[in-house]
A and B are shown apart, each in its own frame.
Chain A
Amino acid sequence: MTSLPALPTPKKLGLVIDLDVCVGCHACVVSCKEWNTGGYGSALSDQQPYGADVSGAWLNRIHTFEIMPESGEVVGEAGEARIVHFPKSCLHCEEAPCVTVCPTGASYKRLDDGIVLVDEEKCIGCGLCAWACPYGAREMDLAAGVMKKCTLCIDRIYNETLEEVDRVPACVRTCPSNARHFGDLADPDSDVSRMVAVRGGIDLMPEQGTRPVNKYLPPRPRKPLAAGTSSLPKAENTDDAKGFLAWLDGMLDRI
């Protein structure tokens, strides 16, 4: 049914993405495609994979943004510009507009864990759900004519044939800088919920009223480069020396 669950789902499984540590390597993008092209539903097709105009369906993509502090045109004028790598996959929204617009019942939100899925047997490929999602998290598979989206790797996270350490989404398992975390955001004591609390995790486009489950951890404030130089310990200054080093410092001073 494309009506949303009436009650909040007991679990809210989702991802927490740390924009402070993502290095934009696209490893999660590739491992997502790799896992999902052989997993749940039809393969993720590409069109003209070896031609000049390559395109295809991907469930996770990395954008890179540059952020200029307000009123700063010249580097360093109003603070320093930052570059942020920005992974984006389905946010498994609580008020998912992509689900309610679906005419066939193919799109649905699971009652127990809140994962938003497409039943490819029912999907007619009308594309309305992709229009309804403000985040661009859904892409049509042009070969199969059905809508594709992040499944939160449902065929990994509950998969008892995998070792326990592998029962997390492919993107999370792959990320070399640990920028993606998986867990239950309904449980305030879960690692992901604590991360969100400590780091001030945010919703994307809260004004769209979708109430995303996935949260993003904003980049930590950065000290200006100039501030860093003054705090470098000077070679001549031994005031901070403690313990053995303080003793050595005193001894060497005396001889």
Chain B
Amino acid sequence: MHPAFSIIVFTTASGMGYGLATVLGLGLLDPAALSTKLAHVLALGLIGAGLVSSTLHLGNPQRAWRAFSQWKSSWLSREGVMAVVAFVPLCISAWSVIFEDACLDWAGLIGSGLSLLTVYCTAMIYASLRSVDAWHTRLTPACYLLFALAGGTLFASFFASAGESSAAHGLSATAIALLIAAWVVKIRWRRRLKNLTPLSNPESATGLGAIGRVRLLERPHMTENYLTREMGFRIARKHAEKLFRLALIFGGAVPIVLMVLCLLPGLSGGLTALLLFVAVLSHALGILLERWLFFAEARHAVMNYYGGREQDLRAV
């Protein structure tokens, strides 16, 4: 699948934003600290930026409001509805922290729950598509949720240490555990992808398998079309391996090592905050790579009509 920049930025930014909002909603950070107020603003900003970015690839963004109507059947619609619904408690809770120096527990907790639900809806847009084998698994929402939680906790630990809150150490330790869990699930997701037998093949796609092995002789046209541009993206396996390793290093190893350093006694508050800030940036870069691969490595069933199997062989 074609890795559209706007969608990758959207899932990365909104994932981290919702993750941060989820942790902030628990009310562990001191509402009087400036850093906590900034954290609330940043969470809302990331979520908002993600949502705006997601409308960039629409053909008719001016009608985007219509996307709230079909929540009964469509995960994309559910995501839109949940995003708007979640904004209400998130804004109330941010208001109370920023202007009243107080945590509103009920708003925070409802905001946390709705944030996670929104991330789940985003993941289900992909996981519900049977036409893309790589995505059609329960592991897809598991990865999205764990990455959002891990990134959010890491982010929160940075704001906690910047505000010299006692919660910083606990948050770092939790973020380490969540990051490990997220990458373990992600590695399982990818192993499944590599070992899977495609649900459909050129034989079933054409119904001609009874005669023999089916091979594309001629495409309908010589140049690319919407389908081959959108679904025909292929990445050579050797590059994919390298990128996945980079994602694992930036998104997992570097933040974990930095957080372990921060847990060591004797580090000054300023240095801890700086290390955690680098950890957050590195994590965001790793997740961008991970999301890019999420699309680039996924193969769509329609490619069975466009010489998909031969294309796979060539891309190795």
Give A residues with C-beta under 8 Å from B: 1-4, 19, 29, 53-58, 61-70, 72, 78-79, 81-84, 86, 88, 97, 99-106, 122-128, 130-136, 139-142, 144-147, 202-209, 216, 218-219
Contacts and interface: CB of A to CB of B under 8 A. Distances in A.
Interface stretch (B23-31, B64-72, B145-153, B169-177): B64-72
A209 B58 contact: no
30 contacts: A55-B223, A56-B225, A61-B220, A64-B216, A65-B206, A65-B208, A79-B212, A88-B305, A97-B130, A101-B129, A104-B69, A126-B58, A127-B57, A128-B125, A130-B231, A133-B131, A134-B131, A134-B301, A135-B301, A135-B305, A139-B225, A139-B227, A140-B230, A142-B59, A146-B60, A205-B304, A206-B204, A207-B204, A208-B130, A219-B208
Given A68-B212, A122-B63, A102 B131 contact: no
Interface string B115-152: 00000000001001111100000000000000000000
Contacts of A64: 216-218
Contact of A3 (B57, B73, B300, B305): B73
A218 B214 CA distance: 13
A78 B212 CA distance: 10
Contacts, number: 210
A189 to B, nearest CB: 25
B77 interface: yes
Given A2-B73, A103-B66, A145-B59, 11 more contacts: A3-B72, A54-B221, A65-B206, A82-B211, A84-B206, A102-B73, A128-B76, A131-B300, A133-B131, A136-B306, A142-B59
Given A55-B226, A84-B206, A139-B226, A145 B70 contact: no
Contacts of A1: 70, 72-73
Given A55-B223, A55-B225, A145-B60, A134 B302 contact: yes
Contact of A103 (B59, B69, B130, B226): B69
Nearest to A61: B220
Nearest to B301: A134
B215 interface: yes
B204 A70 contact: no
B111 interface: no
A130 B226 CA distance: 10
B60 A123 contact: yes
A134 B202 CA distance: 12
A63 B218 contact: yes
Interface string B67-100: 1111011111100100000000000000000000
B130 A69 contact: no
A106 B65 CA distance: 13
A72 B129 contact: no
A86 B208 CA distance: 10
A205 B210 contact: no
B194 interface: no
B165 interface: no
Interface residues of B, number: 59
B131 A57 contact: no
B61 A133 contact: no
Contact of B59 (A124, A131, A132, A136): A124
B230 A130 contact: yes
A135 B207 contact: no
Given A139-B226, A205-B205, A65 B215 contact: yes
B213 interface: yes
A237 to B, nearest CB: 35
A103 to B, nearest CB: 4
B131 A97 contact: yes
Nearest to A4: B73
Contacts of A79: 212
B202 A65 contact: yes
